[in-house]
Structures are given as C-alpha cells and as structure tokens.
Amino acid sequence: MRQALQEAARAPGTGDVPVGAVVLSADGRVLGTGHNEREATGDPTAHAEILALRAAARTLREEAVRTGSSAARSAEDAGPGGSPSGRWRLTGCTLVVTLEPCTMCAGALVLSRVDRVVYGARDAKAGAAGSLWDVVRDRRLNHRPEVVTGVLEAECAAQLTAFFRDR
C-alpha cells in the first residue's frame, strides 16, 4: 500500500485526484503501477487501477515473449496460434489501490481475473467493492476476487482529503 500511496502522490501535479494502484504477482513482484491520469491525458478511463492492470498485462506478455515460457503458452493464456502475445489474465495477481474501486474499475478487476483486491479508503459515493455496490463479489459474475479493505485507510483518506481541501 505504501507504494500505491507514493504512486497516488504523483497525480495532483496534473490536477488528478490522488489515487494510486500497484499490481503484484503471486510472488510479490511489482508487475504494474498507475495513478489517476484523467486530467493529464483527457482520457475518462485513465483511472489508477486501469493503468496498473494494463501495465501488469504488458509486463506479463513481455516476460512470456522474452523467456518463451511454456507456462505463458498455456491454453488459457495463449493468443491466436498459441503465442503468449494474448496473455491478459492476471490470475494469481493482487491489485493494491488507495481508494475503493469504482464500477468501471471493479468490472475491469473481475474481467482481468485478479485473485485479490486490496484497498485503503472506502468510497461511499462511488465504491463498487463493498460500499455503494459490490461488483467484485457479485455471484452472478464468472470471477470473484477476494477483497481486503481498510489497509492504511487513514493515510489513504488523508491524502484524498488534503487534495480536495486544497482545491
């Protein structure tokens, strides 16, 4: 979570809300990071979680291509023709984020097949991992990651509070 907080601290420089995310592999390696970049890029989907998920998938694809790993070429992860370029499932991964994911990000977490979502501050206005909605644990969906809440919650909330107070 400390690394996600550091990532979040990069966002206000462009006017973005300070939310940071980190994707970890099953063995704890950082696969991808991201912070909100909606204002910086003019992209409404440039949430920290989405950017971190994209970076993690890119890292896994690059590793698979570089190593020629047979595990990377499994039927589940292989792209057309069995190549590892189609690797997008983040099975075994954990996403750590400073603010509870919104509905868009919660949907992306389910679809990317992350095993665990860890977040700091709750989002009573737009949270979709237990506060307002619970998209990530909806039994109607084909994948339900574990959810861990409240990690360094006070620090995560303080970063957001300071940003909005300064505005």
Residues catalogued as catalytic: 49
Residue 146 belongs to what H/E stretch? strand 146-148
156 assigned ligand-binding residue: no
Question: What is the phi-psi region of residue 82: left when phi exceeds 0, alpha when psi lies from -120 to 50, beta otherwise?
Answer: left
CB atoms within 10 A of CB 125: 9
Q: How far is CA 36 from CA 13, 16, 21, in A?
A: 11, 6, 9
Binding residues: 47, 102, 105
Binding residues for Zn(2+): 47, 102, 105
